[in-house]
Amino acid sequence: MSANNTLAELVSLAIQVAGCDYFADAGIHKSDESAVLSVIEAARNNAAYTGLQANALTLLLAAYDETAELCDEAGDTIRLATMAEAVESGLASYEGVILVNGRRCYVEG
């Protein structure tokens, strides 16, 4: 994780995707990185969530680990994706197309 990707932002974005009840029910402290990652992984594999939610959580984890790339429509990497872009792309559609600075892109991770 880089200084750009904070645990607080990871938790905030994961709650947006999975809902705060999932984290509350897990009874974890949101500053415990390994517990947070475990809860996100469990949510990602929970059949109660849609495929797009699972995809968003997968891309979010990749962005947190700095392995998610923001790509243009031709498939060329522009740069590492932010966690917010990863969630937006994951929730957008299975193709994941989003607009970044007026440019059609997607996140791959």
Count CA within 13 A, CB hemisphere, residue 13. 26
Q: What is the mean pLDDT of each run of 10 residues along the chain (109 residues)?
A: 77 88 70 88 91 96 96 96 98 96 96
Residue ranges of domains in the chain? 7-108
What is the pLDDT, as a whole number, of residue 3? 55
Number of Cβ atoms within 10 Å of the Cβ of 67: 13
pTM of whole model > 0.95?
no
Nearest CA-CA partner of 84 in 20, 23, 5, 30: 5
Q: Rounded to a whole number, what is the distance in angstroms from the first to the last CA of the chain? A: 15
Query: Given this model, what pLDDT does residue 76 score?
Result: 96
**Quick one: how many helices (H) and strands (E) in the chain?**
5, 4
Which pLDDT does position 2 carry in this prediction?
Answer: 53
